[in-house]
Structure 1
Amino acid sequence: MKQDEKKSEILDKKKVSSQLSLSGWLDQRAPFLSFLKKEYIEFPMPKNLNIWWAFGAALCIILLLMCITGIFLSLTYVPTAQEAFLSIETIERRVPSGWMIRAIHIAGSNLFLFFMYLHLFRGLYYGSYKSPRELVWLSGLIIMMMIMITAFAGYVLPWGQMSYWAANVVMQALSSIPWVGKSLSYWLMGGTIPNTITLHRLFVLHFVVAFAILVIVGLHIIFFHVVKSNNPEGVEPCKEEEVLPFYPYFVCKDGVVIVFAIFLLVVLAFFFPNLLTNSENYISANPLETPTTIAPEWYFLPFYGILQVVPSKFGGVLLAMGSVCVLFLVPWLDRSPIKSCKYRPLHRVSLFLLIMSYITLGVVGKIHDQPLLIWLGRFALFYYYFHFLIVMPFSLRFDLQRSLPKSLLDAVRSKP
């Protein structure tokens, strides 16, 4: 018995040594294991991170799921005005599990944009755009713009009534841009009205930009790993006691949010699939019949609301585009050395008013036939720009001064 035990111990040691030698041999030639260990296991994270920092991981998982389901949908989809709607019907009714793949794709797109807005709000609230994280912020905004382009193109692809007329409204809005608008609109549509060429180009745009997003997400993660993570206190960790390794502490936090996100996706896809689509889109596109109300998906409603509250078509387009472009200037508009709104009470109030103004513009985009709502939307639009162009640059002068904790350990100890 003792000899057998010794033999088994010797065999186990040989296996371990062979594994170590194999991993060592591989790591010397292609250091993937050491890279993963350094950047995703031992990577130091501030120990006071809360649940708001887990939405980035959920976004990555949903994005991968969207790309996989999109590939399967593209195998059957036909990007022509005559067959696009019929190909969607084929996916829904004849392709095995096609309805499920499309439902997951639609639910995933809505959930992705919802989490993206939460991710953006977290960055604004905790000052994650400040030095030295400007590139993290800017790359994130580029991803957001690419997602919006992809979402718009994907919304047109089913070629239902709302898809067709949404494309028509957007192209007409682009045509209002002086000098280049009409040429740009004509080139994108391949004519004066949406047609097969429009659909084909938007399909290519949807497919190409979707995978280009993966590249920018990779850069976003690289920038993040170079400058490390911000935290709710806005105080940079300077001691080993103030950080924890990414694994297992933050993997567990991210895992909880990812599971919750997948649960929401399953509920939306399987139990409420019609909640995320407009009933008009179950009717094939008809250029001769205009829907009673034309409204985009919920994530574009604030921008559509801007178009409704501004009398000038070009002015509406300019302000709608500017509402996104102004976010790129935020790292330089905000001159306060304090990052977190936790220690900036007046700026915190202004930020919540900004969110309310954004929601108000969304309501106006959905219900834009009430004069009172139109004026309320104009006030909301004014405050949106007021926050970025007036409050942010001068918040250092007027905000209440609060003392920051000297270290993250002091902040953790001060909590009840």
Structure 2
Amino acid sequence: MARRLSILKQPLFSTLNHHLIDYPTPSNLSYWWVFGSLAGLFLVIQIITGVFLAMHYTPHVDLAFSSVEHIMRDVKGGWWLRYMHANGASLFFIVVYFHIFRGLYHGSYASPRGLVWCIGVVIFLLMIITAFMGYVLPWGQMSFWGVTVITSLASAIPVVGDTIVTWLWGGFSVDNATLNRFFSLHYLLPFLIVGASIVHLAALHKYGSNNPLGINSSVDKIAFYPYFYVKDLVGWVAFAIFFFLLVFYAPNLLGHPDNSIPANPMSTPAHIVPEWYFLPIYAILRSIPNKLGGVAAIGLVFVSLLALPFMNTAYVRSSSFRPIHDKLFWLFSIDCLLLGWIGCQPVEAPYVTIGQIASVGFFFYFAITPILGELEAFLSSAKSSTRIN
């Protein structure tokens, strides 16, 4: 016993003990609080599989597609690594989207957790950039034309736009320098995500976890271990089953078949579609006919998310006690699903019009946030006064 206490006093072990074992956790957490640890798990899977794939991948426009096929056909277990990495990215985004929407519903961005939320938004942005660069690496048709279309959007930025595009391309067209740059950054950025995740976790543990009721639970907490690690373990097993069903039985379900065709600069695909987890943002981009306006709209998505803690005026966190926000949240969720569907449709009527309406609905949710808290407080006060009278 004395030896165990001595070990726990060591800096590394005491830190692990504080954050993973004795961490005081609200006693009423539900399974909706499992997505944070699941995101960490999938981040580890992506880094490990990515490192092993990089050992066999060749970042050259003439060899990249062939090297991916070499990994799939000739490297022992290579197909497994590649499918784990590709589908792991999809599962990673599914987990993070659930994590974000759970935070929106339960008001996890409200004070004092504003810093936790903002760091999470930065991690989300890094994830999108990393995944986009990874999508380019197989150098298939969707890879080539996707990077051509998206990077050329930077040319809409006044004064410095063309310079940014030239720097991204490493020249005057998408070519070998582009692929090398994207491969290098795709390898680097996950480690930045790890660093940001550690800061995110440290901030969370400083201010404490939110809970389903959204109330101050400082007087009703229990140690994370051995109670809540079981909850996380159940979530891990459930997602592991789904993950391996994808990897072994439907590995290409979430990918685009055109990316199995080598990149051809002389043949433009009939319809350029990014990976599914980019589709809502891609739909907002397409809904604005002006290129600069589309770029600004993408930036506004992340600005809106970052601004939520500062725009919030609600005195109650959880939507369980905010009937107006509860309905608005579910309408917003449906709107995001609609944007995802629009993002994979052709740019033609009526999809353009539907996308524009859905984009307005998306930003309306954030625009009404400062007003909603005051409105709910007024209605609650009026209702209380009516009951007293």
Same fold (TM over 0.5): yes
2:373 corresponds in structure 1 to 396
After TM superposition, give the deviation of residue 346 of structure 1 in Å: 0.7
1:108 corresponds in structure 2 to 88
> Quick one: percent identity of the two aligned structures?
38
2:386 corresponds in structure 1 to none
* In 2: Cα distance, 1:276 partner to 1:212 partner: 26
After TM superposition, give the deviation of residue 334 of structure 1 in Å: 1.3
Runs of 4+ in 1 over 2 A off after TM superposition: 20-28, 30-39, 396-403
The DSSP-based 3-state class of the residue aligned with 1:45 is: strand
The equivalent position to 1:174 in structure 2, one of 123, 146, 154, is: 154
The equivalent position to 1:365 in structure 2, one of 333, 343, 347, is: 343
After TM superposition, give the deviation of residue 102 of structure 1 in Å: 0.5
* In 1: Cα distance, 2:14 partner to 2:337 partner: 46
2:241 corresponds in structure 1 to 263
> Residues 387 and 27 from structure 1, CA distance in 2 versus in 1: closer, same or farther, beyond 3 angstroms?
closer
1:31 corresponds in structure 2 to 11
Two-structure CA RMSD over aligned residues (Å): 1.5
The equivalent position to 2:314 in structure 1, one of 331, 336, 341, is: 336
1:247-296: CA deviation from partner (whole Å, max 9, x where unpaired): 11110000000111111111111110111221111111100000111010
After TM superposition, give the deviation of residue 108 of structure 1 in Å: 0.5
The aligned runs of 1:7-406 (5 Å cut-off) are: 20-28=1-9, 30-239=10-219, 242-389=220-367, 391-399=368-376
* In 2: Cα distance, 1:158 partner to 1:238 partner: 49
* In 2: Cα distance, 1:26 partner to 1:333 partner: 46
**Higher Rg:** 1
> Residues 47 and 24 from structure 1, CA distance in 2 versus in 1: closer, same or farther, beyond 3 angstroms?
closer
The DSSP-based 3-state class of the residue aligned with 1:244 is: strand
The DSSP-based 3-state class of the residue aligned with 1:131 is: coil
The DSSP-based 3-state class of the residue aligned with 2:211 is: coil
After TM superposition, give the deviation of residue 143 of structure 1 in Å: 0.6
The DSSP-based 3-state class of the residue aligned with 2:156 is: coil
Cα contact 2:271–2:346 (8 A) shared by 1: no
After TM superposition, give the deviation of residue 149 of structure 1 in Å: 0.5
Question: What is the identity, as a one-letter code, of the residue corresponding to 1:184?
Answer: I
The DSSP-based 3-state class of the residue aligned with 1:208 is: helix
Cα contact 2:8–2:17 (8 A) shared by 1: no
1:414 corresponds in structure 2 to none
TM-score by length of 1: 0.88
After TM superposition, give the deviation of residue 399 of structure 1 in Å: 2.5
> Residues 38 and 303 from structure 1, CA distance in 2 versus in 1: closer, same or farther, beyond 3 angstroms?
closer
Cα contact 2:313–2:374 (8 A) shared by 1: no
* In 1: Cα distance, 2:141 partner to 2:218 partner: 57
Cα contact 1:305–1:368 (8 A) shared by 2: no
* In 2: Cα distance, 1:69 partner to 1:402 partner: 52
The DSSP-based 3-state class of the residue aligned with 1:399 is: helix
